[in-house]
């Protein structure tokens, strides 16, 4: 099936118009990307200059005292409740283990720690160290999550090279 000369001319003109339209659309999209990039920069500046100070002030006046009180209560609970209970349970289990081993091997039972005038060890125990490490890890996780949520991505995706017009 062959096309007439007139039909071929019309198709070439249509393809030329489609190519011009495609190029003008690429130009409009590029301009829109420039406008969006500038809007993003302006929004970031506005947030840093206007919104952040208000949020920071509100946090310092309303949330910081509550957070500090929660931290004090949590520290009190961990230091005065959890660590002694866990330490007592672990100590009792180890003592029972020592007695069972001593009986099994027929060895005399060792005296409990602190007996015979020996000074007991003072300072942070294993439970306190574990609690400190877990608290530090939680704080690092919260700071990382806040950083990820608040960081600004200034660059928007824009095609590096314009797409070619489809062939007719």
Residue 80 forms part of a structural domain: yes
94 in a structural domain: yes
Within-domain flag for 120: no
Which pTM value belongs to this model? 0.35
- Give the pLDDT confidence score for residue 58 in this predicted structure: 87
Q: At what angle do helices 83-105 and 126-150 cross, to 10 degrees?
A: 140
Task: Look at residue 156 and tell me if it is in a domain.
Answer: no
The answer to whether 154 touches 41, Cβ cutoff 8 Å, is yes
Q: Which of 54, 26, 53, 45 is nearest to 163 (CA)?
A: 26
- At residue 10, the pLDDT reads 93
* The length of the chain, given as a count of residues: 168
Q: Which of 65, 116, 126 is nearest to 94 (CA)?
A: 126
Domain assignment of residue 165, yes or no: no
Query: Could you tell me the residue range of the domain that residue 66 belongs to?
Result: 10-111+125-148
In a domain, 157, yes or no: no
Per-residue pLDDT of the chain (168 residues; tens, 9 = 90+): 688 999 999 999 999 999 999 999 999 999 999 999 999 999 989 989 998 898 888 888 888 888 888 888 888 887 888 888 888 888 888 887 877 777 777 776 655 555 555 566 667 777 788 888 888 888 888 888 877 777 765 554 555 555 666 665
71 domain-assigned: yes
For the purposes of burial, counting CB atoms within 10 Å of the CB of 39, is it exposed (0-12), middle (13-18) or buried (19 or more)? exposed
State whether the Cα torsion 124-129-135-140 is positive or negative.
positive
Total number of domains in the chain: 1
Q: Largest Cα–Cα distance of the chain, in whole Å?
A: 117
Calpha distance 138→134 (Å, rounded)? 6
Give the residue from 47, 42, 36 showing the smallest Cα distance to 151.
Answer: 47
């Amino acid at each position: 099936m062959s096309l007439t000369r007139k039909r071929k001319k019309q198709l070439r003109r249509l393809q030329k118009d489609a190519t011009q339209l495609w190029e003008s659309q690429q130009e409009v999209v590029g301009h829109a990307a420039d406008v969006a990039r500038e809007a993003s920069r302006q929004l970031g500046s506005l947030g840093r200059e206007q919104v952040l100070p208000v949020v920071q002030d509100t946090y310092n006046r309303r949330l910081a005292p509550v957070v500090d009180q929660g931290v004090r209560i949590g520290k009190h609970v961990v230091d005065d409740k959890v660590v002694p209970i866990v330490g007592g349970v672990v100590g009792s289990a180890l003592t029972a283990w020592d007695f069972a081993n001593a009986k099994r091997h027929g060895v005399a039972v060792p005296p409990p720690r602190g007996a015979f005038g020996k000074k007991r060890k003072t300072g942070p125990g294993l439970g306190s160290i574990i609690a400190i490490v877990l608290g530090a890890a939680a704080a690092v996780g919260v700071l990382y999550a806040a950083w990820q949520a608040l960081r600004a991505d200034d660059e928007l995706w824009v095609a590096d090279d314009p797409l070619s017009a489809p062939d007719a």
